[in-house]
Amino acid sequence: MIWNSASDFFAMGGYGLYVWGSYGVTAAWMLLEPVLAARRHRAAMVAVAELQEQGDNT
Amino acid sequence: MKPLPRLFAFAAPKSFYRLATLTIPWLYGLALLLSAWGLYTGFFVAPTDATQGDSYRIIFVHVPAAWMSMVLYMAMAGWAAFGWAANARLASMMARAIAPTGAAFTFLALWTGAFWGKPTWGAWWVWDARLTSELILLFLYLGFMALVEAIDDTRRADHAGALLAIVGAVNVPIIYFSVRWWNTLHQGASISMTAAPKMASTMLMAMLLMALAFWAYAFAVVFSRARAIVLEREAGSEWVQAMALKNAGVSNDLE
C-alpha cells in the first residue's frame, strides 16, 4: 500500500496543493460542461416548440 | 437520382441526431468507468516517483488533456474544412460543437501544467516554446468561437471559421515538436512510438486509461452540444418540427 492513512493520501507527499489543484479544477469543469451542453439542448428544444406554436397560430 | 450510399447516412443532421441521442449515455458511462479505473491505478497502484515524489501524479490529467487539446483542434479544423469544401452543414456544426471542449482541454492542460511546473521548475509559467504554442492554441480556439458567433449569416460564419481553423492548424505540429525543435524547459514526449517507455508500466497504464476516459468524455460532450446546435439551426425543418410535435404529444399524455 502506498498510503498509510487518509491524511497521508490527501497530503500527497507535500504536493497536495498542486495535485488537488490540478484534479479539482479538471473534475469541476468535466462535471459542469455536460450540464451546460444538456441545458443548451433543452433551450433549443423549447425554442423549437415556440416556433411551432407560432406556426399553429398563423 | 440514386439513393446515397449508406456511408453517408449519418451525414444528414437527422440521422446524426438520432445516433447521438442513442450513444451519449453509453459514452458518458464509458468515460466514468475508465476514469474510475484510471484514477484508482494512478493513485493506488502507481508508485511514488523517485525524483518528483507525488507531484508527478498530475501527469494523469495533464498529458491526456494536452493530447485532447491537439486532437480536438485537428478534428475541428478537419470538420470545418470539410464543411466548407463539400458544403456539408453537419460538418460545420461539428466544428462548432468541438471548439468549446477543445478550448477547455487546452485551458486544463495549461492549468495543470502550471500546477506541475511550480513544484518542479519553481515557476507557474515560463515563456518556453511548448507552453507558448499551447497558449496560442487556446487563443485560436477562442478566436474561432468569437468569429463564428460574430457573423450573423450562419454559412458565411462557418466559412470564415474554417479559414481561421485551417490556418491555425499549423500551430498543432509546432506544439507537438516544440520540445524537439527548441531547447525547452518542458520535458520531451511522454510516449514515443519508436522508443521503449520511460515510465513504470503502472504509471503508463494509468495515463492511457485516463486518456481513453477523456476521449469518451469528449465524444459524449461534443455529441451533446452538436445535438443542441442541430436543433438551433434546423428548428424550422420538417423533421425537427415533427419530433417536437411527437414530444409534445408525449408530455400531454403524461399530464
pLDDT grade for B228, boundaries at 50, 70 and 90: very high
Residues in chain B whose Cβ is within 8 Å of chain A: 28, 43-44, 47-48, 53-55, 57-58, 61-62, 65, 100-101, 104, 108, 111-112, 115-116, 118-119, 217, 220-221, 224-225, 227-229, 231-232, 235-236, 240-241, 243-245, 247-248
What's the confidence (pLDDT) of residue B255? 45
pTM: 0.91
pLDDT at position B251 over 90: no
pLDDT at position A52 over 90: no
pLDDT digits (tens, 9 = 90+) for B72-130: 999 999 999 999 999 999 999 999 999 999 999 999 999 999 999 999 999 999 999 99
What's the confidence (pLDDT) of residue A7? 94
Q: How far is A21 from chain B (nearest CA, A)?
A: 7
The 10 Å Cβ neighbour count of residue B178 is: 19
pLDDT at position A55 over 50: yes
Q: By the CB < 8 Å criterion, does A10 face chain B?
A: no
Average pLDDT, chain A: 91
The 10 Å Cβ neighbour count of residue B94 is: 25
Contact A41 B220 (CB under 8 A): no
What's the confidence (pLDDT) of residue B191? 73
CA–CA separation, A56 vs B255, rounded Å?
Answer: 21
pLDDT digits (tens, 9 = 90+) for B163-222: 999 999 999 999 999 988 888 888 887 777 666 666 788 999 999 999 999 999 999 999
pLDDT at position B11 over 80: no
| Domain boundaries along the sequence of chain B | 22-188+197-234
CA B225 to chain centre: 12
Average pLDDT over residues B52-59: 94
CA–CA separation, B238 vs B199, rounded Å?
Answer: 55
Query: Going by C-beta distance under 8 Å and a sequence separation of 6 or more, which residues neighbour residue B74?
Result: B169, B172
Query: Going by C-beta distance under 8 Å and a sequence separation of 6 or more, which residues neighbour residue B97?
Result: B222, B223, B225, B226, B229
Q: What is the DSSP letter of B3?
A: P
Helix (H, G, I), strand (E, B) or coil at B49: strand
Report yes or no for ipTM above 0.85: yes
Q: What is the DSSP letter of B41?
A: I
Query: Cell triple for residue B131?
Result: 507552453
Contact A44 B61 (CB under 8 A): no
